[in-house]
Each structure stands twice: as C-alpha cells, then as structure tokens.
A = this chain, B = another copy of it.
Amino acid sequence: MQITDVETIRFETERQPKTTDRKGHAHPGEGPPERTEQTITRIVTDDGPDGYTLGGDEDSNRWMADYLEGMDPLARETIWKDIATHRRISYRRGPIATIDHALWDLAGRHAGLPVYKLLGGARERIPCYASTMCGDDDPEGLGTPEAYADFAESLVEAGYPAVKLHTWMPPYDEDPERVIAACRAVREAVGPEIDLMLDSHHFYTRLEAKQIGEALADLEYTWFEEPLNEQSIAAYEWLTREVDVPVLGPETVRGNMQARAEWIRNGAMDICRTSCNNGGGITGALKTVHLCEAFEMTCEAHGGGAPNLHVMGAMSIPGRYCERGLLHPDYEYDWTPPHLDAPIDELNDDGTVTVPQRVGLGERYNWDYIDDNRLS
C-alpha cells in the first residue's frame, strides 16, 4: 500500500454567522446561516482505503503530496518525525496535524476500527464542559457578570455538568475585579455541584493573575487556564506555587511534548494541556499524554473535533472533560452544517460526548452535498 496523492477537496457550505473583534476573538453574527468555504484533505492510496480529515489547504497538501508519494501510509512515525523535524515545520497547526489525522483515519479504515480502539480504548464517553465565547458589551449576551450567570444557568439546564468561562479580553475591559465578579455570579447561579473553569485574558501581570486565582480557589473552580503570557515558564511556576486553584497549561506555546516536558520539570502547572490541532496531530498529542502519565499528571485536550475525542478515549489517566463550544446566548452551536450528516460532538443526556464509534475518525460526511458544492 502506497500513498499516491494528497487531494484537497474544496467546497462551499454554510455556517452560523460569526464576527471577529479587532483582537481576533469570535462573537455571534446576525442573520441566517452564511456561505463559507471548507476543505477536506484526502490521502489517496493505490490499493488501500483513503484517509480523510476536515481542513487542510491546497498549497500545503500539494507540497506534502510530493513528499508522501510512494510512502507507506501506515509509517506514521516516520512521516510525523520527518514533517516535524527535517522540514522544520512548527508543531503548531499546519500540515503535521492535517496529514497525521488523515493517516489515522486511513489506518482505522484499513483496520476496520475507530481510531481510539487502535490507540487502546479506555472509555466511550467523555464528560463535557460548555465553553463560552469571550465577553462582549451586550447585557443580553456576555456583557455583564449577571449575563454570564444567566447563560451558565441555561447551560446547566441544557445538561452540561461543567461550564468554562472565557471572560473579557481586550478590546473589552479585562479588569480582574470584573472577571472575578463574573466568576462569583456564575458560581452563585449554578450552585456548588457544577464544575467551573476560567480561561481569561492571557496577558495579565503576575499579581493580577494571583488576585484572580485566589478568588477562583475560594469559589472552588476546577482550573485556571492561561492567565499569563505562556512564553514565561517562570511566571507559571510562580503562579502554580502561589495559588490553590489548579493551573492548566500550556496551550499556545511553541513546541509540542518537549515544551510540556519543560513545564512539568519546572512545576509550571498542575494540569497539562495539549490538542491534536496544535500539538502535532493525534501522534503528537498521544506523546504528550504519555509524558504526562509518566509524571502522574492529568492532561486535558484543548478544543473540539474528532481527533481530540479519540485521544481522550485512549487516555490511561483520563482528562476530565472535553470542550464543547464556543457558546453564546445568541449563537446556535447545535446546528449541523450541510456537509455533515451529524456533528461529531452531540451532547448526550448524561452530559457526555460519545467518542466516534465508526471506523477511522468517524466523521459523517454528506458526500452528495459536498460533490454538489465542489469548488475544486
């Protein structure tokens, strides 16, 4: 079995409208679903199944096709190492994750198994937290502590066992007192049984972060995520020592399992963070998960998507939650885009998401729709 091509299937589809503020954070847009472009990357083989994953761009895939042509699609470690090092691609996003995800999908189809069972299944359902969008200035949206409290209450009513707040970040006022007020309002609204987390502005000073962290400890939050610039391991080491709420990270720092190894060695967090998209695909995320197990540390996956669910389904020390969102009172998250027959992360009645049980990554593509809307 050899790789013969890496194809980019580009098509038009629809999405719920979103806007982006001038600092890059998403907020709900207005009106009906809007047209958007989407891609699927397809690794083509001569006499095996093909492998598919959402995303990927034509330039990268054309370049990867040149490199991968003639290779064994099951030689994932060779391919991963080569993309990660010899070609000096950052682990963060980019072709390494796209290609790795498509190769795992292919391996699953070849074996007739969902990916998490190839990895060594540990669980079928992952408890799930509702992850809010960042704050805004709309009192009916996420503009006040009370608005967060009302929204959190509705999320708990909808069945979520946990809620993570993204509070205000510039251009909205990120004042620590106001962030703490929102965290307190939410705790009071949902009561003591619901797990709560905070993912706040990522560029607080040490003392601001400590002020927020101490409040979160009092409010019995489950974790405190990325309040400081992740370029400073020393700042996270300090914060982890200073506050009682568990500090979680790193998320956006460059470097995959090697960066996490340095954070662990320096005691810079209580809970580790990885993700397939930013952490070198399933292969890279799994290496981080195994690193964490060697240090008896929990590892939580950042963001959604099928690859993360499969990794979470194969953790020996289970991450506590998968992330579902981003959510907002005015944004319809539970909506299936027309290129899929079903979303990958439907919420079960017990507040969990099921690890995809179909072969490979288990995405449910609507190929009729995709073919009718092909751009290339």
Contacts and interface: CB of A to CB of B under 8 A. Distances in A.
B112 A294 contact: no
Interface string A94-119: 00000000000001001111000111
A83 to B, nearest CB: 11
A351 to B, nearest CB: 21
A199 interface: no
A65 interface: no
A99 B314 CA distance: 18
Is the contact region of chain A dominated by helix, strand, or loop, or is it mixed? helix
B77 A122 contact: yes
A314 B286 CA distance: 14
A113 B294 contact: no
Interface in A277-304: 283, 286-288, 290-291, 293-296
Contact of A294 (B77, B117, B260, B283): B260
A308 to B, nearest CB: 16
Contacts of A74: 113, 117, 120-121
A331 interface: no
A275 to B, nearest CB: 16
A75 B258 contact: no
A45 to B, nearest CB: 14
Contacts of A75: 117, 120-122
Contact of A113 (B78, B110, B288): B110
Contacts of A287: 290, 293-294, 316
A72 interface: yes
A265 interface: yes
B261 A294 contact: yes
A121 B76 contact: yes
A291 to B, nearest CB: 4
A120 B77 contact: yes
A315 B287 CA distance: 11
Contact of A122 (B81, B257, B295): B81
Max chain B C-beta neighbours (<10 A), residue from A76, A119, A293, A295: A293
Interface string A50-63: 00000000000000
Interface in A182-221: none
A121 B80 contact: no
30 contacts: A72-B117, A72-B121, A74-B120, A74-B121, A75-B117, A75-B120, A75-B121, A76-B120, A77-B121, A77-B316, A78-B121, A80-B120, A81-B316, A81-B317, A107-B118, A110-B111, A110-B113, A111-B112, A111-B113, A120-B283, A257-B290, A257-B294, A258-B294, A258-B296, A286-B290, A287-B290, A287-B294, A287-B316, A290-B290, A290-B291
Q: Which 4 A-B pairs have the closest CB atoms?
A: A111-B111, A76-B120, A290-B290, A77-B122
Given A74-B113, A77-B315, A110-B111, 6 more contacts: A75-B117, A80-B316, A261-B295, A265-B265, A288-B294, A290-B290
